[in-house]
Amino acid sequence: MSGVHLLSWIESANHPAGHFPLANLPYGVFSRQGEASRCGVALGDMVVDLAALEAAGLLGLDGPPVFDQPALNDFMARGREAWEAARSRLTALFAATGDPLLREDPGLRAKVILPVASVVMHLPFKVAGYTDFYSGRHHAENVGTMFRGSDNALPPNWLSLPIGYNGRASTVVVGGTQIRRPWGQIKPSGADLPVFAPSRRLDIELELGAVVGTPSQMGVPISVAEAAETIFGYVLLNDWSARDIQAWEYQPLGPFQAKAFATSISPWVVTAAALAPFRVDTPPRERELLPYLDEPGPMLYDIDLEVLMQPTGAEHPTVISRTNYREMYYSAPQQLAHHASSGCRMETGDLLGSGTISGATRESRGSLLELSWGGKEPLTLSTGESRSFIEDGDTMTLTGWAQGDGYRIGFGACVGTMLPALERKDI
């Protein structure tokens, strides 16, 4: 897969295995001690302070300032014309052979270009709403086989529409935030009634999250092509899941508290423009989709993904899964078009989880539920320890990148460490 690969005068942006070359320019929100949060882009091992660039008059965007905010929403709401203008101007300012205005001004460079190690990353946008989908066929078949048998693995509607549920925007957090083990109702095996206890079957779900940039109108459906135009970018997404709480509560309305306690996203939003060279087709359809879900072209992306697990005290993490986003059955634009098909209004900052991304082999499964086959086949980590589900102190990391010719469009990492459940007297 290829794309435009320009070199930058920021040397760290030119490393072939780095996640943040000039062709990427992902957006995030950062702060330094004693300073307000504001918007930036990642370039190599540096953060470009967009508020400072904007204040210096170097971005040239029409309208009031948008980057001196603690969220990307105002910029995202400006729409595709503004997104393209900002990307074009940033590329010109930081290309090795581009506009020398910033490159040749040491004082301005010191204000605008900051080491990423010197900043704290925050949630990159205000999450207006969060919807999680169930669009990975291998994942759906694995889970269905475990609980209903291989002959009834997929629900009858699965091949016709992207199944989803509305989650909690209030507990979407930026990667790096520690996660507290949740309490909930759990029905032990053989028991007639549930108990209230900390989850013991705590899991991750490897997902990609699509971020809606421009809103739709209530009562007005949108096409898949229109949906693609409204998506600003994508984040890594970990839909933390308490499987034992979920097993008791999910009938008949689906997940609730088992998912509501936390969802982690990566600090950097990789734009749809940066990923455009890596588009691939969705898989062949076993059942013809209804016309409103027709795709005008390739809508998935070729993105390599990994899950790493690191117990407390372990020197290095263990890669427990490798897969690719192209495994999805439904694309994010299809999910968004289906979401709006009833006339549901989509907002700037809406977050759509892809659903667990699993491949065809055991090594490519995107959740511990699948990797350990419901706990019956524990994993062995590089430390020699075994895991069926997440234990206290375990750190889970999601990472991913689209591989170009001599460069990568990366997402960085989405990290979370599991804290022990609160004592009953504390809740």
Closest CA to 418 of 241, 300, 272: 241
Calpha distance 265→257 (Å, rounded): 19
For β-strands 318-324 and 304-310, DSSP reports them as antiparallel
Task: Tell me the C-alpha to C-alpha distance, in Å, between residue 270 and each of 2, 77, 125, 241, 249.
Answer: 17, 16, 13, 25, 35
Identify whether 139 is a catalytic site residue: yes
Backbone angles phi, psi at 323, to 5 degrees: -150, -165
Which SS3 state, helix, strand or coil, does residue 342 take? Answer: coil
CB-count burial class (<10 Å; 0-12, 13-18, 19+) for 420? exposed
Q: What is the DSSP letter of 81?
A: H
SS3 state at 410? strand
Q: Which of 138, 139, 338, 339 is catalytic?
A: 139
- Tokens 């028991």, residue? 191
- Between the alpha carbon of residue 258 and those of residues 186, 206, 255, 261, the distances in Å are 10, 16, 6, 7
d(CA 143, CA 373): 9
One-letter amino acid identity for 147?
F
Token couple for 243: 């499987």
Quote the tokens at residue 405: 């010719």
Which candidate, 22, 38, 84, 338, places its Cα nearest to that of 210? Answer: 338
DSSP E strands: which ranges in 1-159? 27-31, 38-43, 46-49, 113-115, 120-122, 130-133
Q: Quick check: bond before 252 cis, omega within 30?
A: yes
Q: Strands of 120-122's sheet, edge to edge?
A: 113-115, 46-49, 38-43, 27-31, 120-122
Q: Which residues are catalytic?
A: 139
